[in-house]
Chains A and B, each alone.
Chain A
Amino acid sequence: MKKLLLGNEALAQGAIDAGLSGVYAYPGTPSTEITEYIQKSKIAQELNIHSSWSVNEKTAMEAALGMSYAGKKSMVVMKHVGLNVAADVFMNTSVSGINGGLVVVVADDPSMHSSQNEQDSRYYGKFAMIPMLEPSNQQECYDITKYAFELSEELGLPVLIRLVTRLSHSRAGVVTGERIAQNTVHLPKISTQFQLIPLHARVLYQHLVNIQPDMLAISENSEFNQFEQGTNKTIGIIASGIAYNYLMENFENGECPYPVLKISQYPLPKESIKILFDTCEKILVLEDGYPFIEEAISDFLGENRKVIGRLSGDVPRIGELNPDNIANALGFDVVVNGKLPKVVMGRPPQLCVGCGHNDLFNAINALKKETENQQVFGDIGCSALGVLSPYESINTLIEMGSSITMAKGASDAGIHPAIAVIGDSTFTHSGMTGLLDAIIEKTPITVIISDNSAIAMTGAQDSAASGRLISICKGLGIEDDHLKIITPLHKNLQENIDIIREEINYKGVSVVISQRPCVQLPKEKKDKLKEYANVSIN
Chain B
Amino acid sequence: MHSKINIILAGVGGQGILTIAAILDTAALDNNLYLKQSEVHGMSQRGGAVQSHVRISDQPIFSDLIPQGKADIIISVEPMELLRYLPYLKKDGYLITDSNPFENISNYPELDAVYNEIKSHKNHILIDAMKIAKDLGNSKATNIVLLGAASSLIPLSDESFQKAIATLFERKGERIVAKNLEAYLKGKEIVAEIVS
Interface residues of A (CB under 8 A from B): 2, 4, 29-30, 32-33, 113-114, 166-167, 169-173, 242, 244-246, 248-249, 253-254, 322-324, 327, 334-341, 343-352, 382, 385, 389-390, 457-459
Please measure, in the bound complex, the distance between the C-alpha atom of A334 and the C-alpha atom of B29, giving whole angstroms.
30
CB distance from A240 to the nearest CB of B (A): 15
* A170-B34 contact given A114-B43, A343-B80, A352-B46, CB 8 Å threshold: no
In contact, A343 and B44 (Cβ under 8 angstroms): no
Which residues of B are found within 8 Å of A385, using beta-carbon distances? 46
* A458-B42 contact given A337-B90, A350-B47, A350-B104, CB 8 Å threshold: yes
CB-defined interface of B68-87 with A at 8 Å, one 1/0 digit per residue?
11000000000011011011
Which residues of A are found within 8 Å of B62, using beta-carbon distances? 244-246, 248-249, 254
Please measure, in the bound complex, the distance between the C-alpha atom of A30 and the C-alpha atom of B113, giving whole angstroms.
36
Q: A337-B91, A341-B86, A345-B105 are in contact. List 15 more A-B contacts (CB 8 A).
A: A4-B35, A169-B40, A170-B38, A246-B62, A323-B65, A323-B66, A324-B68, A335-B69, A337-B69, A344-B109, A345-B80, A347-B48, A348-B105, A350-B46, A457-B46
Which residues of A are found within 8 Å of B80, using beta-carbon distances? 343-345, 347
In contact, A249 and B36 (Cβ under 8 angstroms): no
Which residues of A are found within 8 Å of B48, using beta-carbon distances? 347-350
Cβ of B59 within 8 Å of any chain A Cβ, yes or no, is: yes
Please measure, in the bound complex, the distance between the C-alpha atom of A30 and the C-alpha atom of B42, giving whole angstroms.
7
Cβ of B148 within 8 Å of any chain A Cβ, yes or no, is: no
Please measure, in the bound complex, the distance between the C-alpha atom of A273 and the C-alpha atom of B85, giving whole angstroms.
38
Please measure, in the bound complex, the distance between the C-alpha atom of A352 and the C-alpha atom of B47, giving whole angstroms.
7
In contact, A349 and B47 (Cβ under 8 angstroms): yes
In contact, B44 and A337 (Cβ under 8 angstroms): no
Which residues of B are found within 8 Å of A338, using beta-carbon distances? 86-89, 121
Interface size on B, residues (CB 8 A): 53
CB distance from B83 to the nearest CB of A (A): 5
Which residues of A are found within 8 Å of B43, using beta-carbon distances? 29, 113-114, 349, 457
Which residues of B are found within 8 Å of A339, using beta-carbon distances? 86-87
Cβ of B37 within 8 Å of any chain A Cβ, yes or no, is: yes
**Of residues A113, A171, A347, which shows the largest number of chain B Cβ atoms within 10 Å of its Cβ?**
A347
Q: Tell me which of B25, B66, B87, B91 contacts A171 (CB under 8 A).
A: B25
Which residues of B are found within 8 Å of A343, using beta-carbon distances? 80, 83, 109-110, 113-114, 117
Q: Tell me which of B42, B63, B91 contacts A249 (CB under 8 A).
A: B63
Which residues of B are found within 8 Å of A349, using beta-carbon distances? 13, 43-48
Please measure, in the bound complex, the distance between the C-alpha atom of A349 and the C-alpha atom of B42, giving whole angstroms.
10
CB-defined interface of B82-119 with A at 8 Å, one 1/0 digit per residue?
01101111110000000000001111111001100100
Sample of 15 A–B contacts (CB below 8 Å): A30-B42, A32-B41, A169-B41, A170-B36, A170-B64, A171-B25, A244-B62, A249-B62, A322-B65, A323-B67, A337-B89, A341-B86, A344-B83, A348-B48, A350-B46
Please measure, in the bound complex, the distance between the C-alpha atom of A441 and the C-alpha atom of B110, giving whole angstroms.
56
In contact, A345 and B38 (Cβ under 8 angstroms): no
Which residues of B are found within 8 Å of A33, using beta-carbon distances? 41
**CB closest chain-B residue, reference A347:** B49
Which residues of B are found within 8 Å of A172, using beta-carbon distances? 34-37, 61, 64
CB distance from B20 to the nearest CB of A (A): 13
Which residues of A are found within 8 Å of B84, using beta-carbon distances? 340, 344
Q: Tell me which of B29, B36, B39, B83 contacts A341 (CB under 8 A).
A: B83
CB distance from B165 to the nearest CB of A (A): 16
Please measure, in the bound complex, the distance between the C-alpha atom of A386 and the C-alpha atom of B46, giving whole angstroms.
13
Cβ of B12 within 8 Å of any chain A Cβ, yes or no, is: yes
Cβ of B60 within 8 Å of any chain A Cβ, yes or no, is: yes
Which residues of B are found within 8 Å of A242, using beta-carbon distances? 64
In contact, A171 and B90 (Cβ under 8 angstroms): no
Please measure, in the bound complex, the distance between the C-alpha atom of A344 and the C-alpha atom of B118, giving whole angstroms.
12
Which residues of B are found within 8 Å of A382, using beta-carbon distances? 46
Cβ of B138 within 8 Å of any chain A Cβ, yes or no, is: no
Please measure, in the bound complex, the distance between the C-alpha atom of A95 and the C-alpha atom of B88, giving whole angstroms.
49
* A171-B65 contact given A114-B42, A343-B114, CB 8 Å threshold: no
**CB closest chain-B residue, reference A327:** B67
In contact, B35 and A341 (Cβ under 8 angstroms): no
Which residues of B are found within 8 Å of A390, using beta-carbon distances? 106
Which residues of B are found within 8 Å of A389, using beta-carbon distances? 106
Please measure, in the bound complex, the distance between the C-alpha atom of A385 and the C-alpha atom of B13, giving whole angstroms.
15
In contact, B68 and A334 (Cβ under 8 angstroms): yes
Which residues of A are found within 8 Å of B42, using beta-carbon distances? 29-30, 113-114, 457-458
Cβ of B26 within 8 Å of any chain A Cβ, yes or no, is: yes
Please measure, in the bound complex, the distance between the C-alpha atom of A335 and the C-alpha atom of B39, giving whole angstroms.
24
In contact, A254 and B65 (Cβ under 8 angstroms): no
Please measure, in the bound complex, the distance between the C-alpha atom of A352 and the C-alpha atom of B43, giving whole angstroms.
12
Which residues of B are found within 8 Å of A30, using beta-carbon distances? 41-42
